Amino acid sequence: MAQPDSKKIFFENLSGAGKAIAVLTSGGDAQGMNAAVRAVVRMGLYVGAKVYFIHEGYQGMVDGGENIEEATWESVSSMLQVGGTVIGSARCKEFRTHEGRLKAAHNLVQQGITNLCVIGGDGSLTGANLFREEWSGLLTELVEQGSIEANAVQKYSALHIVGMVGSIDNDFCGTDMTIGTDSALHRIIEVVDAIMTTAQSHQRTFVLEVMGRHCGYLALVSALACGADWVLIPEMPPEDGWEEKMCQKLSANRAVMKRLNIIIVAEGAIDHNNKPITTEYVKNLVVKCLGFDTRVTILGHVQRGGTPSAFDRILASRMGVEAVLALLETTANTPACVVSLCGNQSVRLPLMECVQMTQEVQRAMDGKRFEEAVRLRGRSFENNLRTYKLLAHRKPESELPISNFNVAVLNVGAPAAGMNAAVRSAVRVGISEGHKMFAVSDGFEGFYKGQIKEIKWADVGGWTGQGGSLLGTKRTLPAKHVEKIAEQMRKHNINALLIVGGFEAFESLLQLYEARAAYEEFCIPMCMLPATISNNVPGTDLSIGADTALNAIVETCDRIKQSASGTKRRVFIIETMGGYCGYLASVGGLAAGADAAYIYEEPFDIRDLQANVEHLTEKMKTSIQRGLVLRNENCNENYTTDFIYQLYSEEGKGVFDSRKNVLGHMQQGGAPSPFDRNFGTKISAKAMQWVTKKLVETFRHGRVFANTEDSCCLLGMRRRALVFQPVVQLKDETDFVHRIPKEQWWLKLRPLMKILAKYKTSYDVSDSGQLEHVVRNRPKESDASVAM
């Protein structure tokens, strides 16, 4: 393996020896909180600090006693997959008083705790910051009362605070995603998908109420993810006369043979006069105006419950580790910070800057400055709202721009969940831009055979939640058929191409770019959207379909581990897909709490296998009874899944037994996750807007002619932004033999998985340590969010 860059800081330089860290969850619970607690405890212990649980949130801090309990490595085992918060949460009126905070300070000093990791919403974090500001005064008061020794004031002079936002509403400014939001979206979409089948049977209209008293994020994103007919949220009150417009739209949808309607209402939905809009009001309106059979479903606390999604487990684990690093690096002058997600990167932001902006949103809404409220919500919210407006409401033919451009869309490579959402988005945005959209069946094989037909707005209705590829997809590359493909492009007058697919799509676009020299038909704007469960496409951190596959892996691992509950000690060897790319094995391993993950990118030998067996043997001698090992299908041609299974079985004799499981194509199937639906929808909309821009730029003398590198691009997520990258420039970044990028961001997460599994390793913290500031207005060209 490559030696670490000397410029990088490694966490061995940071020591927690002599420090005491306490972790608490406060306010409403959220799925993924336990993953964050687990990460804080294990990272804290790993760096040599003492770590404490504070049970029942601030109430436990005020009450003290058994509520403040020292944590051990084993005490956070088997909690990764549990929803809610195992250490409890409570709203505490007493902590809001000076006397309550005085008691809390006394209880912390008794345990020597001066580092607090608070997981909660803006109220919990504001309380923590106030506590920090009062700390020295509280200690002085305790000395005067005789409750603590005078030297304690100097010894425990500063209280350090780091926050993580746990809230299903995603209502905290400064982060693209809060812990619990993705899991709540999973619960909502599961219900909506189930309701859609019964609604279709009876031709019903369903009005669904989702949580979000002050923030419409859940309603907005679930509407995007299920293709709802109408959504009502507090940040975007409908214009006067909305009732008539909504009924017209529902009626128009039924007229084109749509058998159901879905309306999603946030619990805090209001009109322009700040008057609440209730589900009952909407239902009665539909019944009165249209006579449709209408039902109301209020999801309620179902949204808070259940198992955390893969996304929330990974997010919470990354944030928990980052929180401990922040506490190790903090000084008396460091302001309280909150660990946030920006694009695909963890960042630290001043806690009170975020809180103040969150409060500004509410003030803007109270003052009916709704556009300002949307802007303050942040780029993720703005992006979702913009995309929803593009896709939800079809303009009348008379209002559409007339472009006379023909745009073809096709899927290439293996199917991936979320492909259909991307195609639907492309078709509808393309039509809104005035283009004529063409669907190509069965990839380039269908292209050269002439399987091309125009696709209309209504043709893609209901596609968002469908798995696989409804257009059909093949792995056929275009190189051998360029002449026939060029002929079909002439025949249908195709002016631009949008390809949705994996590594084959990337290779296909390179081949079409190279064919430009011989065929002018390919001198048109061409764009590719990465869609593959393997996440092995260069130029992007994430691909459509990978999140759904991760959730399939994590759900299966949870069940497999549970199967050993109450039996003798057992280790499971699980094989994942991915070709030569170890993304699914590594990130799935982090989300499932694996002890090891074998991948091609990190070579291993028999000594490593032996060390892993010995490590598991030691762990099994404690109270831990289950082990989990993931293996990428192509990690090593000799150390096969059978070989590793037999090795573990033999070497673990007398301590544990082993089982193996090959997950296979179940990772590729199923309905797309909310993340993949939304990611596919948003990047596809952005790609179509790029296509329109390029068509206008390259239209000269009655024809489109685009032969520059920047007219043949891949749209990918890079750290904090969505970026259009010329495919020819990505060639040098690609290992074509093994079909993987030469550099992959997620390899930095592997040490995190090892640390949380109790291995001694180096952890690169070169991306950490910088306290940034909240950015109010980001430039539009970098306006992208990996989070939904």
Alpha helices in 350-464 (DSSP H): 351-366, 370-377, 379-392, 419-432, 443-449
Backbone φ and ψ of 185, nearest 5°: -65, -35
Q: What is the number of other CB atoms lying within 10 angstroms of the CB of residue 257? A: 8
CA distances from 760 to 20, 458, 500, 614 (A): 21, 56, 41, 14
Sign of CA dihedral 148, 153, 156, 157: positive
User: What does the block give as tokens for 360?
Assistant: 């500004």
CA distances 509 to 192, 477, 499, 524, 743, Å, are 37, 9, 8, 12, 21
> How far, in whole angstroms, is CA 340 from its chain's centroid?
13
Ramachandran class of 255: left when φ > 0, alpha when ψ lies in -120 to 50, beta otherwise? alpha
Name the β-bridge partners of 700. Answer: 703
Residue 309: partners with Cβ closer than 8 Å, 6 or more residues away: 31, 32, 182, 183, 186, 551, 554, 673, 675
Q: Using CA atoms, how far apart are residues 612 and 618, in angstroms rounded to an integer?
A: 10
Q: Pick the closest to residue 300 from 196, 220, 192, 188 (CA basis).
A: 188
Choose among 584, 784, 754, 606: nearest CA to 683. 784
Cβ distance 428 to 391 under 8 Å? yes
Both tokens of residue 199?
A: 């609604």
Reduce the DSSP state of residue 572 to 3 states and report it: strand
Rounded to whole angstroms, the Cα distance separating 335 from 350 reads 6
DSSP 3-state of 264: strand
Cβ-based neighbour number of residue 252 at 10 Å: 13
Contacts of 250 (CB under 8 A, 6+ apart): 205, 229, 230, 261, 263, 286, 290, 292
Q: Distances in Å between the alpha carbon of 734 and those of 435, 536, 542, 727?
A: 34, 10, 16, 11
Where are the strands (E) in 130-287, listed by range? 160-165, 205-210, 230-232, 261-266
Clarify whether 169 is annotated catalytic: yes
Which of 169, 182, 312, 558 does the annotation list as catalytic? 169
Please state, in angstroms and rounded to a whole number, the distance separating the CA atoms of residues 502 and 56: 47
Helix (H) or strand (E) holding 618: helix 606-620
The DSSP bridge partners found for residue 713 are 527, 726
Task: Indicate the burial class of 548 (C-beta count within 10 angstroms; 0-12, 13-18, 19 or more).
Answer: buried
Closest to 34 in 3D by CA, of 320, 341, 345, 348: 320
Q: Which residues are catalytic?
A: 169
